């Protein structure tokens, strides 16, 4: 009998997994692995090793790892935009940036109302071309993940970068907004709050914010789920609307109605996940020091 790598808590989870696939440990050697993003054209997974100020590249073709960029502004979260370009949240750069098709580094946003961002953390692109990102203070709180300095803005917000470049603050009532993703129809914006790292009175949660009909703003957020093992950092939503999120003990999977339907234990704290592979059915998992993956019976969005 092959032991499943998953724990099924709800029958709906059975349709999303294979009981016979294995959690594969692909590489180890990071201090804090984060920010996975899959580049379909290259079949590369790019991810961050934040304290070491470097990006690493996993090549699916031959299972090798190499350094992609160092120093890198202590990059944290990434996404791949609708033209296949890598978009980065830079802790010490304190900007959102993109690698253009010709290889040049372009800053997409650096300030809100004339003040520098804290340390952009995680990001997603909406179908209208805008970018939505979180800006907690982890990259300015310590010398480990960036450089210590005061917050110019004085709060940790969620922002939207319009295709014109204009920056607006969308959510200002979270302690430390962190992971961020849309539901498949973009009617909901999910945002994790890791504020418990600074104030234990803030529960580790993911909130769901209704996107207003203008497509550019959100209504009041509702509690979607609360973590019982560490906290939620980064997460992704599959094409069926299920949330696959990092926790302190592995990956938790939630149905769109907020039910915890399954767990995938990982022997390290997990900081983020993303979908990759040519069929986008390979879940890449960022353990604290190691890269893992497991094939699942669902798919991630085309770019995430």
Distance CA 61, CA 21 (A): 19
Beta carbons of 174 and 161 less than 8 angstroms apart: no
- Site membership for Mg ion, residue 75 (CB under 5 A): no
- Site membership for Mg ion, residue 233 (CB under 5 A): yes
Q: Which is nearer to Mg ion, 53 or 233 (CB)?
A: 233
- Site membership for Mg ion, residue 121 (CB under 5 A): yes
Q: Tokens for 245?
A: 């999120």
The minimum distance between CB 271 and Mg ion, in angstroms, equals 7
Beta strands in 110-187 (DSSP E): 111-112, 115-116, 122-125, 131-134, 158-161, 167-171, 177-182
The minimum distance between CB 24 and Mg ion, in angstroms, equals 23
Distance CA 26, CA 15 (A): 25
Q: Which is nearer to Mg ion, 273 or 294 (CB)?
A: 273
Burial of 14 (0-12, 13-18, 19+ CB in 10 A): middle
- Site membership for Mg ion, residue 245 (CB under 5 A): no
SS3 state of residue 73 = coil
Burial of 223 (0-12, 13-18, 19+ CB in 10 A): exposed
Q: Which is nearer to Mg ion, 53 or 60 (CB)?
A: 53
Q: Which is nearer to Mg ion, 50 or 249 (CB)?
A: 50
Q: Which is nearer to Mg ion, 17 or 72 (CB)?
A: 72
Tell me, residue by residue from 137 to 176, as one string, x for binding to Mg ion by CB under 5 A and - for no binding: ----------------------------------------
Beta carbons of 227 and 246 less than 8 angstroms apart: no
Q: Which is nearer to Mg ion, 35 or 221 (CB)?
A: 35
Distance CA 135, CA 159 (A): 8
The minimum distance between CB 92 and Mg ion, in angstroms, equals 15
Beta carbons of 275 and 236 less than 8 angstroms apart: yes
Only one residue has tokens 């990259």, namely 139
The minimum distance between CB 122 and Mg ion, in angstroms, equals 5
Beta carbons of 185 and 174 less than 8 angstroms apart: no
Contact residue for Mg ion among 21, 118, 119, 178 (CB under 5 A): 178
The minimum distance between CB 278 and Mg ion, in angstroms, equals 26
Stretches 4-12, 41-49, 234-242, 248-256: which one binds Mg ion (CB under 5 A)? 234-242
Distance CA 276, CA 272 (A): 13
The minimum distance between CB 108 and Mg ion, in angstroms, equals 18
Q: Which is nearer to Mg ion, 13 or 190 (CB)?
A: 190
The minimum distance between CB 202 and Mg ion, in angstroms, equals 15
Size of the site for Mg ion (CB under 5 A): 5
Q: Tokens for 185?
A: 């129809």
Stretches 6-14, 116-124, 200-208, 210-218: which one binds Mg ion (CB under 5 A)? 116-124
- Site membership for Mg ion, residue 125 (CB under 5 A): no
Q: Which is nearer to Mg ion, 231 or 294 (CB)?
A: 231
Only one residue has tokens 């073709």, namely 61
Point out which residues bind Mg ion (CB under 5 A).
121-122, 178, 233-234
């Amino acid at each position: 009998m092959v032991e499943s790598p998953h724990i099924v808590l709800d029958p709906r989870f059975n349709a999303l997994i294979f009981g016979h696939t294995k959690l594969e440990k692909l590489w180890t050697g990071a201090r804090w692995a984060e920010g996975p993003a899959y580049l379909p054209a290259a079949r590369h997974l790019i991810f961050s090793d934040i304290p070491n100020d470097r990006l690493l590249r996993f090549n699916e073709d031959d299972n090798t790892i190499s350094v992609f960029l160092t120093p890198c502004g202590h990059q944290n979260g990434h996404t791949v935009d609708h033209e296949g370009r890598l978009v980065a949240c830079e802790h010490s750069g304190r900007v959102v940036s993109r690698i253009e098709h010709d290889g040049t580094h372009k800053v997409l946003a650096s300030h809100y109302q004339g003040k520098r961002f804290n340390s952009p953390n995680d990001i997603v692109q909406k179908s209208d071309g805008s970018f939505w990102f979180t800006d907690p203070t982890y990259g300015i709180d310590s010398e480990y993940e960036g450089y210590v300095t005061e917050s110019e803005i004085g709060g940790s917000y969620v922002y939207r970068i319009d295709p014109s470049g204009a920056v607006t603050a969308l959510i200002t009532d979270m302690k430390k907004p962190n992971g961020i993703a849309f539901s498949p129809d973009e009617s909901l914006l999910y945002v994790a709050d890791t504020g418990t790292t600074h104030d234990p009175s803030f529960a580790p949660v993911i909130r769901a914010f209704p996107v207003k009909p203008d497509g550019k703003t959100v209504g009041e957020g509702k509690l979607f789920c609360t973590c019982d093992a560490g906290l939620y950092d980064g997460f992704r939503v599959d094409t069926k609307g299920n949330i696959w999120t990092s926790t302190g003990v592995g990956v938790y999977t939630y149905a769109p109605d907020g039910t915890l339907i399954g767990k995938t234990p990982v022997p390290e704290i997990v900081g983020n996940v993303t979908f990759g592979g040519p069929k986008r059915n390979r879940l890449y998992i960022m353990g604290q020091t190691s890269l893992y993956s497991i094939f699942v019976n669902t798919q991630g969005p085309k770019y995430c």
